[in-house]
Amino acid sequence: AQSVVAIVGRPNVGKSTIFNRIVGERMAIVEDTPGVTRDRLFGEGEWLGRRFHVIDTGGIEIGDEPLLVQMREQAHLAITEADVILFVVDGREGLTGADEEVAQMLYRSKKPIVLGVNKIDNPDRIQNLYEFYSLGLGEPIGISGAHGIGVGDMLDACVSHF
C-alpha cells in the first residue's frame, strides 16, 4: 500500500498551498468541476520515484466546533491515518500557543513528524526558524509553499520515513 502523508497545522499557515505544490497538476481537473470544493482533502504525490497519498486535514470541517477542537480532531485524524505527519507552522507569524498544543499531541503519537516552517520566502527570514526547535520535533525545515523554496528538502524528509 502507498504511504500516507497528512498535513496538519492551524489555519492560514499554508497547508493548502503546500498540498497543491505536492499534488501538482495531477488533480487540476477536479478543481474545475462544479460542486467540488476548492480545498481538496486527498491527493497523490510523487517524489524520488515514490508515490504516496496526501491528506490536507485543514480541509476537514467538523461542525461548528471551536477552532482548537477542530484542530485537535484534525491532528487526531492525521495521527490515526498517516505514516508521516507534515506539521506546518508559520515562520512569518512565529510560534503560537495553538502550535504548541498540536505539537504535544503529535509528539505523544510517536509517528514520524516533519516540521515545515512555511513563509520563509527569502534568506532574511531563516532566523525565524530557530524558535521552532523548542517544539521538540526535530529540525525545522524552512519552506515557501508560495514560491516552491525548500519543498524538495521537506519531501526528502517525508520520504525518508516511508
Among 5, 13, 16, 154, binds Mg ion (CB under 5 A): 16
6 counts as binding ligand GDP under rule CB under 6 A:
no
Helices within 3-96 (DSSP H only):
15-23, 28-31, 67-81
Nearer to Mg ion, 81 or 131 (CB): 81
CA dihedral (34, 35, 39, 44) positive or negative: negative
Q: List binding-site positions for GTP.
A: 9-16, 56-60, 118-121
Task: Report the candidate in 136, 135, 158, 154 with the shortest Cα–Cα distance to residue 144.
Answer: 154
Cell readout for 50 is 515514490
116 counts as binding ligand GDP under rule CB under 6 A:
no
Task: Report the candidate in 5, 7, 6, 11 with the shortest Cα–Cα distance to residue 90.
Answer: 11
Q: Which of residues 26-65 bind ligand GDP (CB under 6 A)?
A: 58
Please give the Cα distance from 36 to 128 (Å, whole number).
Answer: 36
Segment lying near ligand GDP (by CB under 6 A), choices 74-82, 113-121, 124-132, 153-161? 113-121
Q: Which of residues 122-161 bind ligand GDP (CB under 6 A)?
A: 144-146
List residues near Mg ion by CB under 5 A: 15-16, 39, 58
List residues near ligand GDP by CB under 6 A: 9, 11-17, 58, 118-119, 121, 144-146
